[in-house]
Amino acid sequence: MTAGQIIIDTDPGQDDAVAILLALACPDALEVLGITCVAGNVPLELTTINARIICELADKGDVPVFAGCDRPLGRDLVTAEHVHGRSGLDGPTLPAPTMPLQDKHAVDFIIDTLRERPAKSVTLVPIGPLTNIATAFKNAPDIIEKVKEIVLMGGAHFAQGNVTPVAEFNIHVDPHAAEIVFGAGVPLVMMPLDVTHKALVTRARNAAIRAIGTPVGRAVAELTGFFERYNPDRYGEDGAPLHDPCTIAWLLKPDLFKGRRVNVVIETQSELTMGMTVTDWWGCTDRPPNATFIHDIDANGFFDLLIERLARL
């Protein structure tokens, strides 16, 4: 079987790091053409460092890493150091990267890659704000029809928001970029809070990751054990969500998930609801479906997959 070609667009972030590691652990199934970085959880300078740290942790220093947009489209950057720590990867002690950052801008890499490769051969996996993807689509609209699909982490419906009462962080940081991406007509799969809040790193699951016994296993245990991982007042039980790896797990084993085709529109006008993913769950409008909204997960199967694949690194 030919490995599926993907570009990971990211703002690492502990859960971004785990998603990258999961993808890099599966070269038989996924060929990571490059990692494009964007400002989000922490500023761009740190996300580019963190992405390279993770590649080197996986002994994959040949994966090219690109710096992208350092701010949202038309809004001030909102970051999340209060969640991820000042570095974005607080938890483990990992060495500074030695692999180089690529000279090309991330947006140019996305454009050039899609133009150079056969149509419908590359999947985009954005697990941070959508600024790089939207900018690529704006600068080179001819690439839109060449994208195989977009599998993103972002949004919410029944789960409401995690940075405002109604908005999920990635969409809220750059709602105007999300509006462009959701309106582009590309086949789109979204992993919203509705499903990621069911992928909880409990103490038992964290211990199972640590028991892998490798540097990667120990680092992931420390990454997923950091910050508000154990906050029953917020998440309802002894655990906290592992958001971003759900995108990679979908590409590896989609039967772990259940989804529904719906229409999603991004709120960009009201500061009260800025970044809300307005989801027509019940078909109340005549707007056609533009996204597969994933709403359920076999959490045990997900963590079994994660642990088995991470043990390969």
Positions marked catalytic: 243
Q: How many CB atoms lie within 10 A of CB 197?
A: 21
Q: How many CB atoms lie within 10 A of CB 36?
A: 34
Rounded-to-integer distance, Cα 205 and Cα 299, Å? 10
Mention every residue, 6+ apart, whose C-beta is less than 8 A from residue 197. 159, 235, 241
Q: Which alpha helices (DSSP H) does 202-278 contain, by range? A: 203-210, 215-224, 232-235, 245-252
- Decide: 89 and 95 in contact? Cβ < 8 Å: no
For every residue of 88-130, DSSP letters joined together read S--SS--PPP-SPPPSS-HHHHHHHHHHHSPTT-EEEEE-S-S
| Closest of 274, 264, 312, 261 to residue 23, by C-alpha | 312
Joined together, the tokens standing for residue 197 give 């809040």
